[in-house]
Structure formats: C-alpha cells, structure tokens
C-alpha cells in the first residue's frame, strides 16, 4: 500500500506541540485592523489549541 501523503495546506496551518497537542493561528488578523481594539489584536497573536471536534481530521491530514 502506498504511503499517506501530507495535506500541505494543513501542514502550513497547524503545528504539533511537544505534548502532542495541535496549535493554530487565531482568526480576524488579516485586515480591517483599525476597527479592532488593541486588546483584541494583541490576544490574537498567541496561538490557540485546535478544537477537540477537529483534532481527528487535522491529525489525519498531517499524517500524525
């Protein structure tokens, strides 16, 4: 049977942490920043954890 291929767009969006969890970037950071409060923009810099409902799919895409 052939090897599983990594889903490349997923590989660019998600990273595995040392504990095995998956991290992702937060949304609403691309444009229209004037309308967003500094607090909202600052908190969006930090990565978030992938939701438990999506973990199985993301792991499959990454080949983990």
Number of structural domains (the chain) is 1
Q: Is residue 1 domain-resident?
A: no
Average pLDDT, the chain: 95
- Residue 3 in any domain: the answer is no
Longest dimension (CA), the chain: 52
Which residues, listed in sequence order, are joined to residue 14 by a DSSP beta bridge?
Answer: 24
> CATH code at 55?
4.10.410.60
Can you give the pTM of this predicted structure?
Answer: 0.82
In this predicted structure, the answer to whether residue 42 has a pLDDT above a threshold of 90 is yes
- pLDDT at 10 (0 to 100): 96
pLDDT tens, position by position, 8-32:
999 999 999 999 999 999 999 999 9
Residue 2, in any domain of the structure: no
Give the per-residue pLDDT at 1.
Answer: 86
Instruction: With a cut of 90, say whether residue 54 has pLDDT above it.
Output: yes
Q: Under DSSP, is residue 46 helix (H, G, I), strand (E, B) or coil? A: coil
Q: Report yes or no on 21 lying in a domain.
A: yes
Per the domain annotation, does 58 fall within a domain?
A: yes
Give the domain extent around 45. Answer: 8-62
């Amino acid at each position: 049977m052939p090897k599983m291929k990594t889903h490349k767009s997923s590989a660019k969006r998600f990273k595995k942490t040392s504990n095995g969890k998956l991290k992702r970037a937060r949304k609403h950071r691309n444009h229209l920043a004037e309308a967003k409060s500094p607090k909202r923009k600052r908190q969006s810099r930090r990565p978030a954890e992938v939701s438990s409902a999506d973990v199985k799919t993301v792991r499959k895409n990454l080949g983990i």
